[in-house]
Structure 1
Amino acid sequence: MKKKRWLTGFTSLVLLMGLLAGCSGNGSNTSASNNESASSTGSGKSKDTVTLKMWGGVPPESGPQEVIDNWNKEHPEIQVEYVRFVNDDDGNLKLDTAMITGQDVDLFVNYTISHAAKRVESNLALDLGSFSDYNIDDKMGADADSWKIDGKYYGVPTTKSSYFIALNKDALDAANLPVPKDWTWDELREYAKKLRTGSGYGFIQNMEPYVDPIDSVLSQEGYTKADGSSNLDHPLVKKWLETLNAMMVDDKTTPPLGEQLTSKMPVEQVFLSGEVPMLNIGAWLLRSSNNFTDFPRDFKIAFAPVPRLAESADKYVTRGGLGDYISINAKSKHQEAAWEFLKWYADGGMAPMAAGGRLPASKDANQEAALKSLLGEKSDTYDLDSLMYVMFDNTTPTYVRSLPQEVMDLRSQEYEKYFLGSQSLDQTLSAMVSRHNEYLKQNK
């Protein structure tokens, strides 16, 4: 599978990195910092121009290029170039390869803790504790703590992350259905039945947050039980599997996983075309929904929180918090210059990124400017009350996905077999637990 190939590739790259380190001598952070010329600190007194390469997963036209252009106009002594990588297994492998083989990478964006942790383990991310002029906890608030790795910051979490169900408001109105503020997966299932028209689907999902319902449970209940064994057979894990499979097979209100994977279904396009009325996705949807040239639509979009599996909301948490964890390459020759840019970016320079749904997390960022960028000239095409609720007013606690990549991979490999019909529900739960226990045994 694709994810398995990523892990194999990453392991090979780690071995390659060791060989390269042995050939190149001392590659410590101190050495890299000493190579930083005094002219590249952002003081405006530079003799030579420093050029930084920033790697990120957002298309340049969706905010990054405007951010870079704004910086470059104000800082002729430090110029930044943006390099886009696709935020999937192959794209992340491309980024890791570039760093390990010494290509120009000065700053890079991590989109999950698991990717960031792998890079820290491989000495690819700089410990930001070496800088003392920016208090990440104070700037970003308590949620930043979830991005610490071994008690340290190897990056700055720069955005407020929002995940939600995007809804075709016109379709909801026609079916006389309200926009939910608190609902369960059973209720979403009923919405999908009522919203489905003809042979179409009522609900589709982006693959990135696909498994979030499981993590919303286990991030609180624990991925392991009191005795240290796997908790991947938790009753609500079983409920998620059963519910989604029933929607695929019995209700036919959401695409079978095999169909979605083999067709590489462009879920954003399918939703924005009006073909399917509900989409599970994150705030990056807005970079497409604001783009009427490529994604013309004639309906208003509303927003609902991601449903919960449990009947009670007492312990429910939703994925969110902070994201876009930006690190400095531990091998960069321009760490001081990269740090100057990163501080500026986090404290409001990133405002144009809001056009793609990425709101700045820093307390010192201009939120009014970010909101203006977020909505642009299309505010009348959104249900603003529900948008403000899911992005700002919803008080449901959040979690950041922190499960090791190996466990995410083994879990998805097994539930995919269930959704593809090649193994039973009980076999799937048993296989996930068995493989997870083996992982825990090997990683004590």
Structure 2
Amino acid sequence: MKKKWISGMVATVLIAGALAGCGNSNNSNTTGSTNEGNASNGEQTTNSGNKGSKTEKLNLRLYTYGTEEAYNWKKTLDAYNQVNPNVTVELVQLSEKGDTQEATKKLDLAAASAEQIDVLMFSDAAAYAQRVALGMAAPLDEYIAKDGYKVEEDYKVDTHLDGKVYALPGKFNPWYVLLNKDHLDEAGLSVPSDWTWDEYADYAKKLTKGEGATKRYGTYFHGPQNGGWMEFLKLKLENQPQNSEFLKADGTSNLDDPNFRATLELRVKMEKEDKSSVPYSDIISQKLAYRNQFFNQSASMLTIGSWMNTEIGGTDKVPLTFHVAVAPFPKNNPGDERGLTPVTTDYVAVSNSSKHKEEAYKFVRWYTTEGQVVQGKNIPAWNGVKSEQVASIIDIILSGTKNPELVDKASLVDTLVSSKASQIIAPASYQAEVYKAINEEYEKLILGNQDVDATVENAKKRVDEIIAANKK
């Protein structure tokens, strides 16, 4: 069945690619266009001045969802070109908005259309695992062994899949809670440095104010949505040192874990009883954006990934007009370990179709180490950056925002330094199917069509069926 799934995905991508050929999408999201005569193999030659002597120039194409604002691409790629003058990395931006779902669809189309792709980025573990299963990413173990390091030691995120490494991690983005400090002051609440989900719910209830269209909610949960943003259905799972996913490391279902049920109960309590979180029906029907909900002060707390560091002080598009503080991801119980949180990263891979895999790998290794420091937009997953350096990196990041003085830097640094990833569980190739099934059962619950018991039972049954089907 697993082979059938992969074949079906390939067929879908190829059909979509054929349809895309009827449009005019090849260059609409590409910057740094390839020079004439360069598109077929990514190479150029220029006369060095001596008859018959030529200097080879190499053009690598990087496909990414990352925007210039969030990734500082020009500065980063220029820095690489300075130390590698014969290599130019051409940026192919797959979404002007940084929309990862849009970018992934366009990446699949580009691969199906046999475009030159040398380096590609995935925004989450599921997308990474799926594209590896489709053969889109090349294994990097040979190059890693030659360089003499281990991914699990050199980086904070282990990217192994089935014993092989197909990508290196870029940024280290632990999840945290953004707080409207003005609202906290108004309610007489302090900035938490260590708290539980029960305390989080209590804060949300106390921060909720008003009624109707102008109501201010205590918190906003941005997911789940169409099988995405599933972190919001693992709130009491993903702060555990092990078994933090819907599937265990051995591939069996983890939905009988009491913390899955507890997460569902928390979501229902906050939305239906306390009425302190933005209703799920509003999120879906109105296509609400989490940035607007927080920065427009429609919600006082936002649980989100620390990719928001680059925006926390306000931007041209989303200005900051109040004081912001940061708190760590809540624990389940007071005695639990502090700082355990879901962590997201960029999975930076070498395309299996690249004619220049070694050169592409060299860029990937540089980008995920020194390049992260040059980029100055995120805390790197590379362990070469020590905890004491985090404060200075945060200064650089905040300096790129409009009002860094409104950010409680101490609470931000404390939260980032104390954050640590739970055990990374390699996602199954059918992870998206699992997400979709659980999302659909949650919708029945939150829209009042079944209770928590039925939701847990039905979700587990569907996931077990998906696991069994993919083992055949």
TM-score by length of 2: 0.78
The residue correspondences of 1:418-437 to structure 2 (distance < 5 A) are 418-437=445-464
Residue 187 (str. 1) matches residue 187 (str. 2): no
Segments of 5+ residues of structure 1 without an aligned counterpart are 1-7, 20-34
Q: Hey, what's the Cα distance between the residues in 2 that align with 1:295 and 1:113?
A: 28
User: 2:405 is matched with which residue?
Assistant: 380
Instruction: Report how far residue 350 of structure 1 moved.
Output: 2.6
Contact kept in structure 2, 1:13 and 1:97, CA below 8 Å: no
The residue correspondences of 1:170-249 to structure 2 (distance < 5 A) are 170-198=182-210, 199-207=215-223, 208=229, 209-216=231-238, 220-221=242-243, 230-249=253-272
Residue 134 (str. 1) matches residue 129 (str. 2): no
Instruction: Report how far residue 315 of structure 1 moved.
Output: 9.7
Specify whether residues 228 and 158 from structure 1 end up closer, same or farther in structure 2 by C-alpha distance, changes over 3 A only. closer
User: 1:3 is matched with which residue?
Assistant: none
Q: Hey, what's the Cα distance between the residues in 2 that align with 1:280 and 1:206?
A: 8
Segments of 5+ residues of structure 2 without an aligned counterpart are 16-40, 47-52, 224-228
User: 1:293 is matched with which residue?
Assistant: 316
Q: SS in structure 2 opposite 1:443?
A: helix
CA displacement 1:271-296 (0-9 Å, x = unmatched): 12233210011112123334432222
Question: Which residue, 384, 392, 415 being the options, matches 1:390?
Answer: 415
Instruction: Report how far residue 133 of structure 1 moved.
Output: 4.1
User: 1:94 is matched with which residue?
Assistant: 106
Question: Which residue, 6, 10, 14 being the options, matches 2:10?
Answer: 14
Specify whether residues 360 and 135 from structure 1 end up closer, same or farther in structure 2 by C-alpha distance, changes over 3 A only. farther
User: 1:77 is matched with which residue?
Assistant: 86
Q: SS in structure 1 opposite 2:364?
A: helix
Q: Hey, what's the Cα distance between the residues in 2 that align with 1:353 and 1:189?
A: 37
Higher helix share: 1
Instruction: Report how far residue 100 of structure 1 moved.
Output: 3.1
Q: SS in structure 2 opposite 1:81?
A: strand
CA displacement 1:258-312 (0-9 Å, x = unmatched): 2101211111122122332100111121233344322222222111112233454
User: 1:24 is matched with which residue?
Assistant: none
User: 2:347 is matched with which residue?
Assistant: 325
Question: Which residue, 69, 76, 86 being the options, matches 1:61?
Answer: 69
Q: Hey, what's the Cα distance between the residues in 2 that align with 1:249 and 1:69?
A: 52
Specify whether residues 317 and 372 from structure 1 end up closer, same or farther in structure 2 by C-alpha distance, changes over 3 A only. closer
CA displacement 1:57-102 (0-9 Å, x = unmatched): 2212222233123334554421112222345434323212312331
Specify whether residues 399 and 96 from structure 1 end up closer, same or farther in structure 2 by C-alpha distance, changes over 3 A only. farther
Letter in 2 for 1:299: F
CA root-mean-square deviation: 3.4
Q: Hey, what's the Cα distance between the residues in 1 that align with 2:249 and 2:270?
A: 33
Specify whether residues 143 and 350 from structure 1 end up closer, same or farther in structure 2 by C-alpha distance, changes over 3 A only. closer
Instruction: Report how far residue 125 of structure 1 moved.
Output: 0.6
Letter in 1 for 2:349: S
Q: Hey, what's the Cα distance between the residues in 2 that align with 1:39 and 1:245?
A: 63
Q: Hey, what's the Cα distance between the residues in 2 that align with 1:308 and 1:9?
A: 37
Contact kept in structure 2, 1:319 and 1:401, CA below 8 Å: no
Q: SS in structure 2 opposite 1:165?
A: strand
Contact kept in structure 2, 1:36 and 1:335, CA below 8 Å: no
Instruction: Report how far residue 411 of structure 1 moved.
Output: 1.1
Instruction: Report how far residue 242 of structure 1 moved.
Output: 1.6
Q: Hey, what's the Cα distance between the residues in 1 that align with 2:149 and 2:280?
A: 40
User: 1:28 is matched with which residue?
Assistant: none
State, as a whole percentage, how many aligned pairs show the same letter: 27
Letter in 2 for 1:343: R
Q: Hey, what's the Cα distance between the residues in 2 that align with 1:39 and 1:308?
A: 58
Q: Hey, what's the Cα distance between the residues in 2 that align with 1:105 and 1:317?
A: 36
Q: SS in structure 2 opposite 1:58?
A: coil
Instruction: Report how far residue 191 of structure 1 moved.
Output: 0.4
User: 1:269 is matched with which residue?
Assistant: 292
Q: Hey, what's the Cα distance between the residues in 1 that align with 2:381 and 2:69?
A: 21
Specify whether residues 225 and 122 from structure 1 end up closer, same or farther in structure 2 by C-alpha distance, changes over 3 A only. closer
